Amino acid sequence: MDSTNILLARQPIYDRDLNLHAYELLFRPPHPSDWIWDGDIATSQLVINAFTEIGIDKVCDNKTAFINFTRKWLISPPPFDAQHVTVEILEDVEPDEEVIAGVTAMAKAGFTIALDDFEFDEKWHPLLKMADIVKVDVLAQKGESLEQLVAKLAPYNIRLLAEKVEDYDMLERCKALGFELFQGFFLARPQNVHGDSMPTNKIVVMRLLAELQNPDASVAKLEDIISNDIALSTKILRICNTAQYATQSKIDSIRRAVVLLGMNTLRQWSSLIALSRMSDKPSELICLTLSRAKMMELLAKAVGKDNPDAYFTVGMFSFIDAFFDQPIETLLQSLPFENAINDALLHYEGDTGKLLRYVIAHERGQWEEINWTYLEGNGINEALFEQAYMEALVWSTDVMKSLLE
């Protein structure tokens, strides 16, 4: 992949069943510490990268892209296909006659219109009549203000999108109030489970994951576990028969698959497949897990770390609480990780933990949280960081297709 910076990130938007509905595309400034915010430049650069450098279908997995529109873009919009773009009108745009005329034209052209960070004011009435979606920062709503805002919006024919949903209680509260779409970090902050036993399928997955991370795991032991799960066996064999691993002879047994892949590769693929089979979790959570783990590994390899597998493991298991709906501290007690990995996952300590912190900040668009001085001191500049992100994104999308077929 070209080493030039690809300046964007994406944040998933879910429906009430936690199925992926769309992505909001986020601008990534080239030099965050020196960046003076200019909304027009940000949107322009984001669109160029999304549509020409990468391809909007690949960036959004053929889902709709929510893109922030400034006043300039609302008045003179680019030649987008309405099928791929939801026009997100920022809260600082003044809804004057020119803006209203521009939004009217886009609504007639078939664009979905969304109002961002909405606070009720009479000046928004003309746009509310055309809007399809209203985004509400639920974290900023105190006391009964959320219920009051929903009541004021009730007369309008709009869908409510709750953004900054950060815990299970807020998710359920928003559902009860009629919100249809959700955006936020709640997937990484799961609902606590008290007293109920873990379902059998998850016990099996935990056993497999524990064995895969055991440094003394044997080929025979892994073969035994994999061979007793027909779906897992099938996927491993499919992977071995892809172009990346293809040989002149067909792979017709798990033992031959283990030999071909090697222990480290087998650990990675088997862990990913095991997590992908947890069907009560959104596929986007798995995709996020994949891309985070791969980005960690790519960066570790690029700077010559002698343990890139550990970086991959930390990236993947940073989401384990979301998969099992239990605190990560409890789950790590059942996995044979060394202290360095536990410290990275629990406290962001060590080189692995610090990199995890900055990868997460990048995913969330929290550019100010990334310590570029530290990263550059470890051989990771912004160009390498962005290259690893995009390679991981493409890789995770391809992997998801094979895992979920």
Residue ranges of the alpha helices (H) in 134-249?
145-153, 168-176, 200-213, 219-227, 230-240
Predicted local distance difference test score (pLDDT) of residue 374: 94
pTM (2 d.p.) = 0.51
Architecture of domain 200-404: Orthogonal Bundle (1.10)
Superfamily of chain region 8-188: EAL domain (3.20.20.450)
Q: CA of 379: how far to CAs of 16, 318, 360, 382, in Å?
A: 42, 23, 19, 10
> How far is it, in rounded angstroms, from Cα 193 to Cα 331?
12
Predicted local distance difference test score (pLDDT) of residue 178: 93
What letter would DSSP give residue 88?
A: E
Would you say 311 and 296 are in contact if contact means Cβ atoms under 8 Å apart?
A: yes
Could you list the mean pLDDT of each consecutive 10-residue stretch along the chain, which spans 405 residues? 52 85 76 56 64 63 84 75 83 89 91 88 88 91 89 91 86 92 64 29 51 70 64 61 53 65 69 56 75 92 88 84 78 74 93 95 89 94 93 82 56
Helix, strand, coil proportions of the chain in percent (round to 5)? Answer: 55, 10, 35
**162: how many CB neighbours lie within 10 A of its CB?**
27
Predicted local distance difference test score (pLDDT) of residue 358: 96
The angle at the Cα of 79, spanning 398 to 362, to the nearest 5 degrees, equals: 45
- List the chain domain ranges: 8-188, 200-404
Task: Look at residues 315, 282, 299 and name the one whose alpha carbon lies nearest to residue 391.
Answer: 299
Predicted local distance difference test score (pLDDT) of residue 151: 93
Enumerate residues 6+ apart whose C-beta is below 8 A from 257: 236, 237, 239, 240, 251, 266
> How far is it, in rounded angstroms, from Cα 297 to Cα 290?
11
Predicted local distance difference test score (pLDDT) of residue 104: 93
Task: Look at residues 369, 76, 319 and name the one whose alpha carbon lies nearest to residue 186.
Answer: 319
Would you say 375 and 299 are in contact if contact means Cβ atoms under 8 Å apart?
A: no
> How far is it, in rounded angstroms, from Cα 324 to Cα 261?
28
